[in-house]
Amino acid sequence: MKKLIDIIDVSDQKDIISESNDNWYKKRFAIGIPTVNRFDLLKPSLESYLQDFPNVKVFIVDNGKQGIAEHYKDNELVTVFEPENNLGVAGSWNLLCKEIFKLHGYALLLNDDIYLGYGIEVVEKAIYWDNLGLTQSSKNFSVVLLSNALYTELGAFDEQFYPAYFEDSDYLYRLKLKKKCVQRIDYSLDPRDFMASQTYEKEPQKYMNIIFENKERYIKKWGGLPFMEQYRKPYTPSN
């Protein structure tokens, strides 16, 4: 029986990426980043990504209306969405996936408060090892490589987990239930730098309430906390 979780480190593998043209890189994957109010942290990383990932498209959901679209209006590699209201993490990921998968096979979804410190070759190696699954760094969903094939198979992220927390656990459990799909943890995708956003520290009670509400929502949906789920189908009143 295929393992549900495959933990590997391909950082020492020999180079398996052959010489390819720019169009191949453009269509292979694109980067997606949701952000609310930390463009100050995102900007230096984004400037580096444009150098580290030449000709790779970057899609940003600016949930805080921080003027990112105006800043990059002349850069054809950067596309910025500015929704009327905060979409939350799951909603932002869904928008990013919808747009990226129009032309690309993979979405590299990133937190806005990290810097990867690597380039195309590392991501392409992760794609090479993918098998209709989800590849993440060892730092949870700070870096996620998601295929169009899996997103089509599994469906969208659950936007009921708003604005954040437990949407990743929900997706991983749904992945676990699809036994032909595989979750891979790839240490070579780990970000080099983490910038402390201090969002939680500024309003701890607010975020504690959000965590509690989404924890209860998760328990109701799956019959237990992550790794303690009882249901194989989401709970509905008719179950």
For the chain, give every domain's residue range. Answer: 5-164+175-195
Distances (CA, A) of 143 to 126, 148, 185: 12, 16, 10
Residues in the chain: 239
CA atoms of 56 and 120, how far apart (whole Å): 9
Contact 132, 181 (CB under 8 A): yes
User: Which DSSP state fits 142?
Assistant: G
Closest CA to 10 of 139, 192, 132, 189: 189
Each of the 239 residues of the chain gets a pLDDT tens digit; together they read: 334 444 434 444 444 334 344 454 445 899 999 999 899 999 999 999 999 999 999 999 999 999 999 999 999 999 999 999 999 999 999 999 999 999 999 999 999 999 999 999 999 999 988 876 799 999 989 999 999 999 999 999 999 999 999 999 999 999 999 876 777 899 999 999 998 665 666 778 998 999 999 999 999 999 999 999 999 999 877 65
104: nearest Cα among 23, 18, 26, 189: 26
Is 42 in contact with 69 (CB distance < 8 Å)?
no
Cis peptide before 54 (omega within 30 of 0): no
Q: Do 179 and 2 form a contact (C-beta atoms < 8 A)?
A: yes
Q: Which CATH architecture has domain 5-164+175-195?
A: Alpha-Beta Complex (3.90)
Q: Where are the alpha helices (DSSP H) in 53-179?
A: 68-71, 88-100, 120-129, 148-154, 167-177
Residues 112-168 have pLDDT tens digits of 999 999 999 999 999 988 876 799 999 989 999 999 999 999 999 999 999 999 999
What is the distance between the alpha carbons of residues 197 and 236, in angstroms, rounded to a whole number?
37
